[in-house]
Amino acid sequence: MTVKIQINKVAVVTGAAGFIGFHICKYLLKKGWRVIGIDNLNSYYDVSLKKNREKILKKNKNYRSINKNIEKPKLLLSIFKEESPDVVIHLGAQAGVRYSLKNPRAYFESNILSTFELLEASKSYPPKHMLLASTSSVYGVNKKMPFRETDKADHQVSFYAATKKTTENLAHSYSHVFKLPITMFRFFTVYGPWGRPDMAYFKFTDKIFKGLEIDVYNEGIMERDFTYIDDLSKAIYLLINVIPDMNNDIKFKYDSLSHVAPFRIVNIGNSKPVKLLDFIKAIENNIQLKAKKNMLPMQIGDVYSTWACSKLLTELTGFKPKTNVNEGVKEFVKWFKQYYQI
């Protein structure tokens, strides 16, 4: 059961030209929302890919694009004052576990400072609901599977994960002090068309087509709860109307609702871990080429396995991600061949 809100359908989406942000914006626009998309179009990966995503969004008259750094003091405050958004979906962040080993400052500025600016703006111009992105990486070296939102998550093994856990803590404190309704969602290895070139599945596909070796860490003895982008987009959209409310009499069996704040954490994952070598095989089958594998030891900051318990998501929204890896990889390879004219 959901708590319905009366909205004017105005949303601010940060990281709007990113992989997930692009798909969320498209989903909202399709549903008749006005979307203010903010993205600094940084050069962490191919900027032309981001610009091409943005070009598609700009074709819709209900989309406003702002290309600025959200960690800039008071920028979000001025946007919130001007637009009075009903909903905020915060996806703007420096992504990638491995890059955080090389450039941790980028994560501090893009993840922690940007979230602080967002929370400060929301304090002055409170949206009806704020949905902030976290990650399955916050579970770190937890051995209890599947991961539940109520599990302790105190031992992150990458700086990226540590910054995202920090944003969860910041958001909870603002939610408590200023009564801001906040839902944090933890993603589990999202993949699909228009994806990020730094992600393993994207690099695998590119290198297999080119006949190059792919790097397979821990000799492939890893598994991930792969989540297809369309399932993620639908889940986030459905969560918009599920506002954390401490005074609500409705009780959910698996709820992570804070007892001191209108704040909730929700996993979004398929709940079906897939072995890395099986995922590579799905890519090979769709490309119809065999991968040349360079087997490597485990990389620092990585984890062996992820597995989402998505029962809370289903309780709250009635939805459960269900796209299997073969279907999802097929759609990604189809897009990849078309986009890169293979």
155-158 long-range contacts (CB < 8 A, ≥24 apart) are 157/301, 157/302, 157/303, 158/97, 158/100, 158/101, 158/301, 158/302
Q: What is the pLDDT of residue 141?
A: 84
> Looking at the predicted structure, is the pLDDT value of residue 59 above 50?
yes
Q: What is the pLDDT of residue 189?
A: 95
Q: What is the pLDDT of residue 3?
A: 47
Mean pLDDT of 223-249: 94
**Residue type present at position 131:** L
- pTM of this prediction? 0.94
Q: Place 193 in a pLDDT band, splitting at 50, 70 and 90.
A: very high
The residue count for the chain? 342
Residue range 21-38, pLDDT digits in tens:
999 999 999 999 999 999
Mean pLDDT of 64-87: 97
Q: What is the pLDDT of residue 7?
A: 52
Mean pLDDT of 297-304: 83
Q: Is the peptide bond before 146 cis (omega within 30 degrees of 0)?
A: yes
Q: What is the pLDDT of residue 142?
A: 86
CA 157/CA 159 separation, integer angstroms: 7
Residue range 211-227, pLDDT digits in tens:
999 999 989 889 999 99
Q: Place 2 in a pLDDT band, splitting at 50, 70 and 90.
A: very low
Average pLDDT over the chain reads 93
DSSP state of 308: B
Mean pLDDT of 142-159: 90
> Looking at the predicted structure, is the pLDDT value of residue 1 above 70?
no
Residue range 260-297, pLDDT digits in tens:
999 999 999 999 999 999 999 999 999 999 999 999 99
Q: Place 8 in a pLDDT band, splitting at 50, 70 and 90.
A: low
Q: What is the pLDDT of residue 250?
A: 78
The first and second tokens of residue 113, run together, are 């400072």
Residues taking part in catalysis:
160
- The bridge status of strand 129-135 relative to strand 87-90 is parallel
The three-state (H, E, C) secondary structure of 230-269, written as one string: HHHHHHHHHHCCECCCCCCCCCCCCCCCCCCCCEEEEEEC
Domain boundaries, the chain: 10-339
CA 86/CA 13 separation, integer angstroms: 11
Classify domain 10-339 at the CATH topology level: Rossmann fold (3.40.50)
CA 120/CA 263 separation, integer angstroms: 16
Mean pLDDT of 176-188: 97
